[in-house]
Amino acid sequence: MTHSTPEQAPVEAPPSAPGGLVKSVVQLDRVVIRLAGDSGDGMQLTGNRFTSETASFGNDLSTLPNFPAEIRAPTGTLAGVSSFQLHFADHDIMTPGDAPDVLVVMNPAALKANLADLPGGGLLIADSDEFTPRNLAKVGYAENPLEDGSLDGWQLVSVPLTSMTTDALADSGLGKKEAERSKNMFTLGLLSWMYHRPTEGTVRFLERQFRKKPEIAAANIAAFRAGFNYGETTEAFAVSYEIKPAPMAPGTYRNISGNQALAYGLVAAGQRSGLPVFLGAYPITPASDVLHEMSKHKAFGVRTYQAEDEIAGIGAALGASFGGALGVTTTSGPGVALKAETIGLAVMTELPLVIVDVQRGGPSTGLPTKTEQSDLLQAMFGRNGEAPVPVVAPRSPGDCFDAAIEAARIALTYRTPVFLLSDGYLANGAEPWSVPAADTLPDLRVEFATEPNGPDGEFLPYLRDPETLARPWAVPGTKGLQHRIGGLEKADGTGNISYDPANHDFMTRTRQAKIDGIAASLPPTEVDDPDGDARVAVIGWGSTYGPIGAACRRIRRSGRSIAQVHLRHINPMPADLGDILRSYDRVVCPEMNLGQLALLLRAKYLVDVQSHTQVRGLPFRAAELAAVLQDVIDSTVTPTTASEVTP
Amino acid sequence: MTTHPIDEHVHELGMPAFDQRIADAVARSVELGGEKQTSLKAKDLKTDQEVRWCPGCGDYVILNAVQSFLPSLGIAREDMVIVSGIGCSSRFPYYMNTYGMHSIHGRAPAIATGLAASRPDLSVWVVTGDGDALSIGGNHLIHTLRRNVNLTILLFNNRIYGLTKGQYSPTSEIGKVTKSTPMGSLDHPFNPVSLALGADATFVGRAMDSDRKGLTDVLRQAAEHQGTALVEIYQNCNIFNDGAFELLKDPLTGTQWSIPLVHGEKLVFGPDGASCVVADGWGGLRIAETNQVDEADIVVHDAHRTDPAYAFALSRLSHQDLRYTPMGVFRSVRKPTYDAMMTDQLADARSGQPADLDALLRGSDTWTVD
């Protein structure tokens, strides 16, 4: 694959003349497209297909699906609007984009819910067939906005997508209703033409998807091609756009979503540890896709168990860990609340267990399909007693793979439950992922106990490894090592029930020391400060990595310096973090909660961390974050210096 | 007597019964410590831990019965795991020289399910009580039963909360006066056997703590059962609910009010066999005077009936005050077990597709950057 230098500005390319029309091709360096329609219109599928085409073309990309919790909200209402935003570029990008350049709306509700996000002058494509008096009235439009001039501030292209789809399928033998359902593929075809996307993948996908219904496959492919051909021949679109592939490090790439990467990480952890993986889970948005993905990989010895409730899910996983498996449970915030008591039991019994929390808006049922980072303190402290649990967080969809392996490493090495805190944005978002070779992944092998370890030939289940403080893992079936574990306080060494005050104090501090000691196995904290003279640092964790990184680039482009620190490990934190934070004049911590990491950092390091928070169910916008950071920088440096660096 | 229609489903495992690394550890321990010992004595199953139930508790009797009976199964003690919840009975694992987990309130069946499903080579037991299994853990109990995981569940029913010092339990009779119900409890109790049968349990039995022979007989059948076996054991709490089962224990009244269940034998009971069980309308059963009915109408106990309705009808004969209580095995039928089916699915998946991690990670749509 060859790469051209990223274009800095759109450049007119020589016009081509398909279908007798003179059409020009414009070079762009990046585009943000948002597709919006009814939750039954297939916007997520359309978005995912466009993403796959874009990935296979070689652009860098980032996606943001946004959909209601209701499977089929009332048709044509604001509550039922589902959208999918895709940012793709000829260079490395970090976010799904703050605002769309192109908005496609399938009905008046989609227009009403999304228009405010489309900057003036942006391209707006609307399915004019759906702008009926009834649909307009449903969302309170007195006049048809496609016709009353109210959209004059945008480049409006009104296209009868629905009727063109049914016309294209007139000979397909499908009824009108059925034919209409292919309008998302017509739209995908149109966009594929507009952005020069490769189409073979989508055709293959449709053939595969509707293998058992060839007439439906044929209709969708026909609609897809009709949309593409319409773009090529219509006068409505005079321009198409080319976004060159992005330069990437050599390697094999694929497109991957966070939940898929996380599941692959767990499968890989099983393979690299040589242990069977047992996933106990109860369906919950937005974590269910991890269960779905894992259930496909039985050939790797992965056992998946859909339990009767969240408690049984983690209970079964812990039981499997006792038996020598890598026990895993997957859930979201409300499920974590239910699992708390079992996590405490895992802390007490000191068995490996990975608890995946794909966070969503809370409290209570909250916003099931929207993203948030508000379970951090629940993960840290949401148990009775002193019950420390390591916390690991991925920073991007592809990074969910590495984070899952790291969570498994800690669980297996230290014999402890570990939280893996993903979120809805990472779970459903996608990006190109450099596929690692299996034999380069970390070696996670651990030794089971096979012989007595006591001075008198007895087995002491709580005799610890002096370095890791992990206790031996003796699985049932091992001769001579029969022992009993449980939730009651254990006597040091023997593991027998103990109510002794000094023993409880010792064991409580030892369990804490074991978790604190994990810091010794962590690499030094990476500080991204290319200028090397930053006086302000921004620190984050989890899925805010992309928006914070994009904001930092903007800051640096404006001539200012800023340091970015992003935490993979939140418990324990890296040993060098306190010194790093203290070396800056100001530290800003953006989070999608009300300041949970900031609270921890202030408590632990006595650093005056400035919290910047947002809980809108959506990721930060890079431009807004950049403005916040710029204010901090400009109020930190002296006035003379400020004038020097202002561009 | 009905036959077992699914005998042919007894599984030939197409893969090692458990995973290689675990098998290696077990093999290494045998190398170091000598062959697995399957001829045990009761004392081999005792631990060095002092048994701390109240003097006179029915739990002692059950512990002794289990320790005496288990060696007859020919299973090495390292291959047995006892998982319990919370409550007096749930201290049981500490007194058994096997593997064990004293877990959290109500969750033992869930934990044991994960263990049994991933380690079909083990003999997994759950010890629980009426509060643990039927109140806080009711959900796990019914779902474990319907899945038919290979477990044996011993439910010690003393009809009271003992460890929290004497509140009424989900099996206490209506009107029970306790610390939390000074004017008498208002709750209608569960009949654990009916509940288990409602969940389609494949094995349900009932025994009395003090009846060593009857208890051992039910335990043996339960242990030999493939699938989830639930044994309700009436257990006297001499501190908070003393004499709860006296009606059935007393030699005189016991004969009158217990209905011994023996597969293939007529349901005749009481002094001189004066009472019997006959079919009632609507598929139910009722008690009759033996000399008032045609002998051919007396029900012959069949624990292997596929339809659980008969066993359920049997369970409904008893009253809250324990009159007409059937004792023995209500139901024992064969169905594929959850763990065997899970093992089969893994074996099927492995035979169809090699476990190639690189191929999995690459997927079907990749592109290469040189």
Please report, in angstroms and rounded to a whole number, the separation of the first and last CA atoms in chain B.
73
ipTM given for this complex: 0.95
Kindly state whether residues A151 and A283 are assigned to the same domain. no
Domain with B156, as residue range(s), is: 24-254
pLDDT of residue A625: 96
Shared domain check, A451 and A401:
no
The answer to whether B370 contacts chain A (CB < 8 Å) is yes
Whether residue B343 lies inside any domain: the answer is no
The answer to whether A456 faces chain B, any CB pair under 8 Å, is no
Q: Which of A223, A243, A263 is the last residue of a domain?
A: A243
Is A297's Cβ below 8 Å from some Cβ in B? yes
Report the CATH number at residue B31. Answer: 3.40.50.970
Q: pLDDT per position in chain B (370 positions), as tens?
A: 333 333 333 333 334 446 889 999 999 999 999 999 999 999 999 999 999 999 999 999 999 999 999 999 999 999 999 999 999 999 999 999 999 999 999 999 999 999 999 999 999 999 999 999 999 999 999 999 999 999 999 999 999 999 999 999 999 999 999 999 999 999 999 999 999 999 999 999 999 999 999 999 999 999 999 999 999 999 999 999 999 999 999 999 999 999 999 999 999 999 999 999 999 988 899 999 999 999 999 999 999 999 999 999 999 999 899 999 999 999 999 999 999 999 999 999 988 878 899 999 999 888 888 8
> Does a structural domain hold residue A212?
yes
Question: pTM to 2 decimals?
Answer: 0.92
User: Which CATH number goes with the domain that contains A30?
Assistant: 3.40.920.10
The CA distance from A449 to the nearest CA of chain B, in Å, is 7
B116 lies in some domain? yes
pLDDT digits (tens, 9 = 90+) for B177-206: 999 999 999 999 999 999 999 999 999 999
Q: Output the domain CATH number for residue A545.
A: 3.40.50.920
Cis before A286 (ω within 30)? yes
A595 occurs within a structural domain: yes
Looking at the domain assignment, is residue B181 inside a domain?
yes
Which contacts (CB < 8 Å, 24+ apart) does range A136-142 have? Answer: A136/A108, A138/A76, A138/A77, A138/A108, A138/A109, A139/A76, A139/A77, A139/A78, A139/A108, A139/A109, A139/A112, A140/A112, A141/A108, A141/A112
The amino acid sitting at B70 is L
Q: Which residues of A13-37 are buried (b: 16+ CB within 10 A; e: fewer)?
A: eeeeeeeeeebeeebbbbbbbbbbb
Instruction: Look at residues B62, B75, B126 and name the one whose alpha carbon lies nearest to residue B100.
Output: B126
Residue A493, chain B, CB below 8 Å: the answer is no
Residue spans of alpha helices (H) in A355-418: 376-381, 399-414
Residue A4 lies in a domain: no
Intervals of chain A under pLDDT 70 = 1-22, 637-647
Are the beta carbons of A537 and A589 closer than 8 angstroms?
no
Instruction: CATH number of the domain at A259, please.
Output: 3.40.50.970
A233 and A269 fall within a common domain = no
**pLDDT of the residue at B134:** 98
Cβ distance of A324 and B21 shorter than 8 Å: yes
A495-504: per-residue pLDDT in tens? 999 999 999 9
Do residue B366 and residue A435 have CB atoms under 8 angstroms apart? yes
Whether residues A125 and A194 share a domain: the answer is yes
B94 contact A CB<8A: yes
My answer on whether A205 and A277 are in the same domain is no
A187 and A158 in a single domain? The answer is yes
CA distance A417 to A407: 9
Last residue of a domain, one of A243, A271, A298: A243
Q: What pLDDT is stored for residue B218 in this prediction?
A: 98
> Which chain A residues are within 8 Å of B358, Cβ to Cβ?
437-438
CB-based contact (8 Å) between A300 and chain B?
yes
**pLDDT digits 0-9 by tens, B100-147:** 999 999 999 999 999 999 999 999 999 999 999 999 999 999 999 999
In a domain, A548, yes or no: yes
Show the DSSP H helices in chain B as ranges: 20-33, 58-69, 108-118, 130-131, 138-147, 192-198, 212-224, 246-249, 251-257, 309-315, 338-352, 357-362
Q: For B135, which DSSP code?
A: I
Residue B15 at interface with chain A, using a CB cutoff of 8 Å: no
pLDDT for res B16: 46
Is B153 in contact with B228 (CB distance < 8 Å)?
yes
Task: Tell me how far apart the alpha carbons of residues A555 and A111 are, in angstroms, rounded to a whole number.
Answer: 33
Residue B317 lies in a domain: no
Burial call B258-270: b when 16+ CB within 10 Å, e when fewer: bbebeeeeebbbb
Tally of domains in chain A: 4
C-alpha–C-alpha distance, residues A24 and A14, integer Å: 7
Residue A391 lies in a domain: yes
Which residue among B20, B110, B348 sits closest to A307, beta carbon to beta carbon? B110
**Interchain contact, A275 vs B19, CB within 8 Å:** yes
Split into its structural domains, chain B has a count of: 1
Is residue A134 located within the same domain as residue A80? Answer: yes
Can you list the positions of beta strands (E) in A99-258? 102-105, 123-127, 155-159, 239-243, 251-257
- The full 3-state SS of A15-49, as one line of letters, equals CECHHHCCEEEEEECEEEEEEEEECCCCHHHHHHH
The residue whose two tokens read 């609007």 is: A81
What is the pLDDT, as a whole number, of residue A638?
A: 58
CB–CB contact A253 B36 (8 Å): no
Q: Least CB-CB distance to B101: which of A300, A312, A485?
A: A485
Q: Do A467 and A337 share a structural domain?
A: no
Contact predicate A97/A62, CB 8 Å: yes
Q: Does A92 touch chain B (CB under 8 A)?
A: no
Chain A residues with beta carbon closer than 8 angstroms to that of B19: 275-276, 301, 324-325
Alpha helices in A236-332 (DSSP H): 258-273, 288-294, 310-322
Peptide linkage before A363 cis (omega within 30 of 0): yes
Query: B81 CB near a chain A CB, below 8 Å?
Result: yes
The verdict on residue A6 lying in a domain is: no
Q: Answer for the pair A352, A326: CB distance below 8 angstroms, yes or no.
A: yes
Domain of A156 in residue numbering reads as 11-243
Residue B16 lies inside a defined structural domain of this protein: no
Same domain for A356 and A406?
yes
User: Domain ends where: A208, A243, A278?
Assistant: A243
Q: Which two tokens stand for residue A586?
A: 């100001």
Confirm whether B262 is domain-assigned.
Answer: no
- Segment 181-200 of chain B within 8 Å of chain A by CB: none
Residues A260 and A229 in one domain: no
Has residue A405 been placed in a domain?
Answer: yes
Residue A3: inside a domain: no
Asked whether residue B213 is assigned to any structural domain, the reply reads yes
Is residue B82 in some structural domain? Answer: yes
Return the pLDDT at A21.
57
A553 lies in the same domain as A463: no
